[in-house]
Every structure is written in C-alpha cells, then in structure tokens.
C-alpha cells in the first residue's frame, strides 16, 4: 500500500527535525529515556523519533506552570487579551492546516481529507469557540438575607490553577485542543501529556501557542509513557486538576492517584455506544449512518456505534446493508485519496482488537464478515460484523475500539431501550426514526451523555459531551467544559 499523496516539505522538515519537549519555559531534549520510534501505522515504518520527558522535567513543567499562575502572566491578562491570543492560535492552525493534516495522517492513521477538512479545522474552531467565552463568562450578584445587616454577595468563577491534561492517541490534535483551549480560556496553566504513540501534532501545537502569544511557562507539552509520566503528574502535589481522556481502566486508577491533594478530576472515558434503528427509519440514511458510526476512524472513536439494534421489520435489511457497506470499504493509507478506512494505531492494538473478535467467535457469536487482520504492511483490520452475540459475551460488553460491530434485532421500544442501557458505559447513542416525537421520547430514556437522532458522531462545541455511568465524570464542550477548569468563589461584602 503506497502513499500517493506527496508529503509537503514543511511536514518533512518537521518530521526530520530533532524533537524536543516543551518543559516549562524552554524546549529541551526529553530526558526520560532514549528516543522512541514514532511509526506510521499505515506502513509500520518509523517517521520520527521522540525522547520522552522525564519525571524531573515534569516537575520543572509543573513548577513553571505554578510560577506563571502565581505571577498572573496569563491568568491576569484581560479577557479581551486572552480572547485575541486564542483567536490567533486558531489562525495559526488554519495557516498550517496542510502540515498538521499530513502529520495527523502519517502518525495517527487518519484519512488525509478527514484530517484536513474535519479534525484540523475543528481544532482551530475549538480555540475560536473558547476564545469567545473569555469575554462572556458571567458571574452573579445576590442580596444576602443577613438579619439587621446589609450585604452584597458576589459569585465569581476563577481558574483552578495548574491543570495536568492527559490525552489518548485517537485524535491527537483535537484532543489537545479540547483540553488546552478551555483551560487557557479559564486562565489556567497547563501541562499536557500526549499519548506516547502520537506526540507530533501536540508538539507542533506547542510551537503555535507560543507564536500566538501564550506566555512561556504557561503551557508545557510532555510526551511520555502513561504509567510513569502520566501517573507522576496525576500524583503531583502542585497540580490542582487532572483532565483525562482515555480508557475507563486508567480513569479508575487516576481516582487513587489524584486523591492525595484532592485534585479536581474530569474523566472522558470509554464507550460501547448503541445505535437504535426503528422500522420507520429512512433506511438508506440509517444504514449509511450506522456504517459511518462504526467504521469511520476504523472504529477508534470514543462514540463509535459498536452495538446496532434494529427493529424486526428492518433487521435483515440493516444487516445486509451493513455487510455490503463493510465489503465495499477500501482500506489503505490515509494519504491515498482512494482509501476509505485507515489502519489501527499499532500492532499491539490490532492484536487486542483481534483477541476480542476471536473471543466473540469462541463464545458462539456468528461472524458475518471480516474478522482476520489484513496481511501485509501496516496495522489494517477489516470492517467486522457479528450477529448472535449474547448480552454476556465479551464482544457485546467490552469496548473494542476497532471496526467491529454487533447487530441484534428487537421488537419493541422498551426492549431496545433495555438492551441499549444494559452496558456499563453511557457515552453516546443514536436513534433512527422518522417519528421525531418517538426519537425524543427514547433519547430521554437512554443512559447516555449524548444522543443523536437520525445522525451519529457529530460533535458540536456548544453541546456538552461526556459520560453517564463508567464513561466518565464531568463534561467537555460548552460552558460546562470551561467550568471544569474553574473554582466558584462567593464574596460577601458588608455594606453598612
Ligand atoms: P489509555 O487510557 O491507555 O491512555 C490514555 C492516556 O493516558 C495516554 O496518554 C496514556 O499514556 C495515559 N496513561 C496510561 N496509563 C496511565 C496512568 N496509569 N496514569 C496516567 N496516565 C496514563 O487510552 P488509549 O488506549 O490511549 O485511548 C483509547 C481510550 O480512550 C478508549 O477507551 C476511548 O474510548 C477513550 N476515549 C474517550 C474519549 C471521550 O471523550 N470519552 C475520547 C477519545 C478516547
């Protein structure tokens, strides 16, 4: 599978440069070990080497972040200034969109068009959206009821301090933007740890933040291993908040790691999102929507629609349509404009996806299509469809994080809701019906942080996203996504 889109000189220069980490006020070689190969998952070939940051560099980064917070070089700027700087970050992302999209494709296994027209502009828009909040964050005043005395009460929202932000590999630039933009808009200082497999666009973003005018020391970008570096940050006594996106298992570990100084903790975790297709759905729309919901990004999407429930009258059509969509998808490197689905992120992730598929077969589910790793270069795995997966099988319960879906029939809305809600996860869901009143009624009963009606997986920065149940704590996006980086302070002033 050869790349047919030529990579720009700017991206090649970036890849070929010596990669430093941004630890506090300066860029420096990572001191946490020897440079690690960074791979193109479409070929398995090395595209760069990045030395991880050390625990000592994490301490330096946290100290710089704290110093910057205390001397108010960022938090003390006017809202209008912060807004201008964050808008400038967005402009710089736009300016370098091609390079960023190429890096995201080469390192993250994205389709180039999706990176260029989807993820990169969305990252820029995230900075634009939160730039807007800088000048619009409301407080409140009250007249407290103190007998015999006159008080004025003021409620303010203040930045929480130093935020450690830990993100996964499945959307390296967008995840970094979703963390940094609201935290900076709130006035926090940030230490971001990208995933070890995909540090490149986060490091690139670090340059853009400085170029845009974020003062030195306010943001650090520390690539490195989760177990050592991530845990070190989560336990750090000078970190006020941990914002984490990743697996539910690691999220649970962070509860223990963050408790020493009772850090504020927000967790965006895994999912096993149901797709409910009713008899009256617009079937072509529902089938192509359900196929996108699980096969886009090769299923490596937190809100991937990995459990399809189709009403009995359309079940066979949905199954046939999904199988046809799966067969029709052309797998290939994201830089090839003909590719419709890219690779999984790594050899070991492909192994774990395949192990879950084998468990499904072993436990008696029926494999309709897919189910074997694609031989040859890169870490490709085909679209895989199961029927007959019982509720208690691993393939029905566990997040696969690959292009693997189960399809089951249902008779009534109550049955569909019960099956959809049986998961320990509650991140996302979709309902497909022409009857909008029914769509809303079902959306209200689903235990899920976001429900789409006649659509799936479309994010919007004004709509909070996050998990019910074991899919997380707190919400990102919207005003709620800003407030997770803020403390609320009440001030009561005696007026007589
Ligand atoms: P992961 O939990 O293995 O790793 C996520 C991040 O945490 C990485 O940076 C990793 O280095 C770090 N980490 C690992 N162990 C750590 C520890 N002990 N202490 C601190 N940090 C540690 O997840 P992943 O495999 O990189 O990503 C896939 C997962 O992310 C899936 O479960 C997916 O659903 C989830 N995800 C959720 C959302 C959401 O918004 N809810 C979005 C994207 C991905």
Ligand 1, atom 15: nearest CA belongs to which residue?
226
Q: Which residue has the tokens 């200082």?
A: 189
CA 188 / ligand 1 centre spacing (Å):
22
Q: How far apart are CA 454 and CA 277, in angstroms?
A: 9
296-351 pLDDT per residue, tens: 999 999 999 999 999 999 999 999 999 999 999 999 999 999 999 999 999 999 99
At residue 72, φ and ψ (nearest 5 deg) are 60, 30
Q: How far apart are CA 238 and CA 64, in angstroms?
A: 11
Ligand 1 pocket by C-beta < 6 Å: which residues?
Answer: 166-170, 193, 195-196, 226-227, 230-231, 234, 245-247, 250, 253, 268-271, 302, 399, 401, 427, 467, 472
pLDDT at 5: 66
Mutate to test the pocket of ligand 1, among 55, 168, 194, 303 (most ligand atoms within 8 A of CB): 168
Q: Which residue has the tokens 């809202």?
A: 79
pLDDT at 3: 42
CA 320 / ligand 1 centre spacing (Å):
34
pTM of the model: 0.97
Q: How far apart are CA 63 and CA 55, in angstroms?
A: 12
CB 291 within 8 A of CB 305: no
CA 201 / ligand 1 centre spacing (Å):
17
Determine the atom of ligand 1 nearest the C-alpha atom of 271: 34
Which 8-state DSSP code applies to residue 412?
A: S
Choose among 236, 243, 228: nearest CA to 261.
Answer: 236
CA 40 / ligand 1 centre spacing (Å):
20
Q: How far apart are CA 378 and CA 339, in angstroms?
A: 14
Q: How far apart are CA 339 and CA 84, in angstroms?
A: 38
302 is catalytic: yes
In sequence order, what are the residues at sequence separation of 6 or more whose Cβ sits closer than 8 angstroms to the Cβ of residue 184? 74, 82, 85, 86, 130, 190, 214, 218, 219
pLDDT at 2: 39
In sequence order, what are the residues at sequence separation of 6 or more whose Cβ sits closer than 8 angstroms to the Cβ of residue 43? 1, 3, 333, 377, 378
CA 197 / ligand 1 centre spacing (Å):
11
Mutate to test the pocket of ligand 1, among 164, 239, 246 (most ligand atoms within 8 A of CB): 246
Determine the atom of ligand 1 nearest the C-alpha atom of 225: 11
Choose among 178, 266, 167, 260: nearest CA to 221.
Answer: 167
Mutate to test the pocket of ligand 1, among 36, 173, 233, 247 (most ligand atoms within 8 A of CB): 247
Q: Write down the catalytic residue from 119, 196, 268, 399.
A: 268
Structure tokens at 485: 């980086």
pLDDT at 1: 38
CA 212 / ligand 1 centre spacing (Å):
28
Q: Write down the catalytic residue from 196, 302, 398, 476.
A: 302
CA dihedral 275, 279, 281, 286 (to 10 degrees): 40
CA 248 / ligand 1 centre spacing (Å):
8
Q: Name the stretches of the chain with pLDDT < 50.
A: 1-4
Ligand 1, atom 28: nearest CA belongs to which residue?
246
Structure tokens at 308: 């399809």
Structure tokens at 309: 């429930």
pLDDT at 225: 95
268 is catalytic: yes
How many residues belong to the chain? 496
**Total Cβ atoms within 10 A of residue 283:** 16
CB 322 within 8 A of CB 386: no
pLDDT at 239: 98
Determine the atom of ligand 1 nearest the C-alpha atom of 171: 43
229, exposed or middle or buried, with CB in 10 Å at 0-12, 13-18, 19+? buried
181, exposed or middle or buried, with CB in 10 Å at 0-12, 13-18, 19+? buried
């Amino acid at each position: 599978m050869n790349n047919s889109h030529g990579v720009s000189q700017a991206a090649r220069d970036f890849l070929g440069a010596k990669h430093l980490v941004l630890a506090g006020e300066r860029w420096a070689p990572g001191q946490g070990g020897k440079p690690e190969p960074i791979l193109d998952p479409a070929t398995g070939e090395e595209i760069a080497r990045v030395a991880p940051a050390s625990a000592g560099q994490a301490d330096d980064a946290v100290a710089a972040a704290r110093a910057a917070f205390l001397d108010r070089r960022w938090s003390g700027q006017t809202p209008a200034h912060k807004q201008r700087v964050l808008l400038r970050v967005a402009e710089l992302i736009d300016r370098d969109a091609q390079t960023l999209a190429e890096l995201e494709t080469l390192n993250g296994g994205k389709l180039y068009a999706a990176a260029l027209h989807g993820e990169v502009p969305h990252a820029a828009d995230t900075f634009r959206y939160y730039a807007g909040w800088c000048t619009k964050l409301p407080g409140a005043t009250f007249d407290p009821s103190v007998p015999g005395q006159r008080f004025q009460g003021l409620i303010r929202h203040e930045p929480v301090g130093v935020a450690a932000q830990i993100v996964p590999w499945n959307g390296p630039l967008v995840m970094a933007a979703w963390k940094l933009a609201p935290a900076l808009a709130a006035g926090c200082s940030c230490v971001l740890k990208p995933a070890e497999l995909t540090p490149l666009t986060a490091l690139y973003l670090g340059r853009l933040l400085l170029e845009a005018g974020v003062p030195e020391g306010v943001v650090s970008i520390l690539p490195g291993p989760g177990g050592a570096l991530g845990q070190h940050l989560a336990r750090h006594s000078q970190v006020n908040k941990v914002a984490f996106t990743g697996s539910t298992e690691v999220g649970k570990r962070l509860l223990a790691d963050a408790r020493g100084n009772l850090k504020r903790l927000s967790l965006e975790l895994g999912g096993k999102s149901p797709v409910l297709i009713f008899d009256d759905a617009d079937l072509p729309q529902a089938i192509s929507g359900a196929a996108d919901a699980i096969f886009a990004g090769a299923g490596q999407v937190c809100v991937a629609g990995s459990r399809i429930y189709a009403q009995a009258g359309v079940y066979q059509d949905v199954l046939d349509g999904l199988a046809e969509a799966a067969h029709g998808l052309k797998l290939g490197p994201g830089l090839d404009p003909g590719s419709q689905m890219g690779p999984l992120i790594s050899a070991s992730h492909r192994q774990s996806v395949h192990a879950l598929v084998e468990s499904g077969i072993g436990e008696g589910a029926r494999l309709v299509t897919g189910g074997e790793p694609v031989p040859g270069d890169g870490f490709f795995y085909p679209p895989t469809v199961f029927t007959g997966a019982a509720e208690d099988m691993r393939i029905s319960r566990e997040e696969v994080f690959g292009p693997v879906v189960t399809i089951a029939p249902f008779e009534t809305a109550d049955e569909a809701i019960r099956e959809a809600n049986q998961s320990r996860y509650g991140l996302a869901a979709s309902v497909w019906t022409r009857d909008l009143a029914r769509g809303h009624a079902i959306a209200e009963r689903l235990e899920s942080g976001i429900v789409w009606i006649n659509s799936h997986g479309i994010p919007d920065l004004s709509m909070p996203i996050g998990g019910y149940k074991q899919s997380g704590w707190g919400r990102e996006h919207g005003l709620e996504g800003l407030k997770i980086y803020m403390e609320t302070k009440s001030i009561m002033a005696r007026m007589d």
